[in-house]
Structure 1
Amino acid sequence: MNVLSIILQVVLGLGFLMFGFMKFGSKQMVDGFKHYGYPGWFRVFTGLVEVISAILVIAGIWNKTLAAWGGLFIAATMLGAIFTHIKIKDTAQQMMMPIILFILGLALLLINFGSLLV
């Protein structure tokens, strides 16, 4: 197993578990999604996608296909976050975390991509 992949999986998995669960009721997340112009159900849906992504990424330590799918879900979710920040005209600094997480999710997908083709 690729050490870089395992490190990415642990970091992304723990981070997305934390932020995913926060989306279920954290005042900061509730206020943030209102600011972005999204309804409450979309915040919960996003949190669910993030938790599922985290579970896939962590389970991917033992199954590369799951790691690839988790990386794809993370990259797609962060692409949506980037477009949301662009939509509300945030600064580049405010977009840095979603951009970094998009790159890390994409890297995880690419490292494990071969398992999707089998």
Structure 2
Amino acid sequence: MTAITAPAPTTATRPGAVRTRLLWTLQILLGLFFVIASGIPKFMGQADAVRVFDAIGFGDWFMYFTGLVEVAGGIGLLIGRLAGAAAAGLSITMLFAAATQAFVLDAPSYAVFPLVLAAVFAWLTWHHRDGLIALRNRLSR
């Protein structure tokens, strides 16, 4: 006698659904980090931020400008159409932050974190390249 078994139920997931969830989770966490923990303290004139930007030597305007770039990038990470451009901009910003840490502030060990973030943002940019191309085409009309 032969036993007939029903095929095991499968959960159908779209290809890349897990990657998409991972990307959005990462973008939300990084976006909130850049808005709340990095950008806003620069606007509020936090003592550590003031001290670091005084050591850089560009004055308060550069601290506020950097805070604005970080908040805009953090918000951009949370908006689907702008996520690629925000990630690209934050990647460049992190490269400059690493260079500033290493060469201006003479603290190369502190440059590691911005370099890791730059690599993460470059990876996010690559995954959002189709959105970047669409944004470029929309703006070039």
Pairs aligned (count):
113
Deviations 1:32-81, CA, capped at 9 Å, x for gaps: 1111222110100000010000111012xxx2x31101101110111110
Distance in 2 separating the partners of 1:85 and 1:37:
13
Query: For 1:80-99, what aligned pairs fall within 5 Å after superposition?
Result: 80-88=96-104, 89-91=106-108, 93-99=109-115
Structure 1 stretches of 4+ with a deviation exceeding 6 A read: none
Give the gaps of 5 or more residues in structure 1.
Answer: none
1:117 to 123, 129, 133: 133
Deviation at 1:98, TM superposition (A): 0.8
Give the gaps of 5 or more residues in structure 2.
Answer: 1-16, 135-141
Greater relative contact order structure (CA < 8 Å, 6+ sep): 1
What is the TM-score of this pair, normalised by structure 2?
Answer: 0.74
Deviation at 1:17, TM superposition (A): 0.4
Deviation at 1:4, TM superposition (A): 2.3
Choose between structure 1 and 2: higher helix proportion: 1
Residue 3 of structure 2: aligned partner: none
Amino acid at match of 1:73: G
Distance in 2 separating the partners of 1:90 and 1:70:
27
What is the TM-score of this pair, normalised by structure 1?
Answer: 0.88
CA contact (8 A) 2:34 2:73 kept: yes
Residue 24 of structure 2: aligned partner: 6
Distance in 1 separating the partners of 2:49 and 2:129:
32
